Amino acid sequence: MTVSPVAAAAPEATVTVEGRSAPRLPASAVPGIKGVRLSPHGTEATLMNISASGILVECVSRLRLGTAVTTVFDGTFSPSTIEGRVARSSVANVSKKGVLQYHIGIAFNKPIVLETAPVAAATRQPEAPAAPAALETPGALAPPGTTAQAPVAAPVLPVLSNRW
């Protein structure tokens, strides 16, 4: 019996996560960033998401891949500036007036430290309280002929990811 090259090369059904160097935080999870500017172009941008290794912004300026930029954060976020390079640039939207908006992915030259507390609050639901000791033994407080069931833990939501 022969196996076709396609069948032999087909990967097994596994769930894989893109090769990210750091999890992304949506803009709503970083309230210290009130605005973003890209220097030396002076372009105003809207924060889409951020990680320790990079940022995704939306703006009306097209930036070429590999272009060196300094990201300037308005607000209380620290660091207030970080240097990087354009790692991704794609058209995100075309307005009714025909103005192009771009998604610009910037890879930071050095990783930054992001507080992880907002991630936990933004992506996880509250955990169920621990069961009393009496409920840990099946049937301890259950009516005769039935068994007690342990509470089900709330699911953990994934952190936002992008392709840059």
Convert the pLDDT of each residue in 17-68 to its tens digit. Answer: 555 678 899 999 999 999 999 998 889 999 999 999 999 999 999 999 999 9
Q: Which residues contact 75 (CB under 8 A, 6 or more apart)?
A: 31, 32, 33, 34, 35
Mean pLDDT, the chain, integer: 75
- Would you say 16 and 70 are in contact if contact means Cβ atoms under 8 Å apart? no
Question: In this predicted model, what pLDDT tens digit does every residue of 67-95 receive, in sequence order?
Answer: 999 999 999 999 999 999 999 999 999 99
DSSP 27: G
Q: Is 38 helix (H, G, I), strand (E, B) or coil?
A: strand
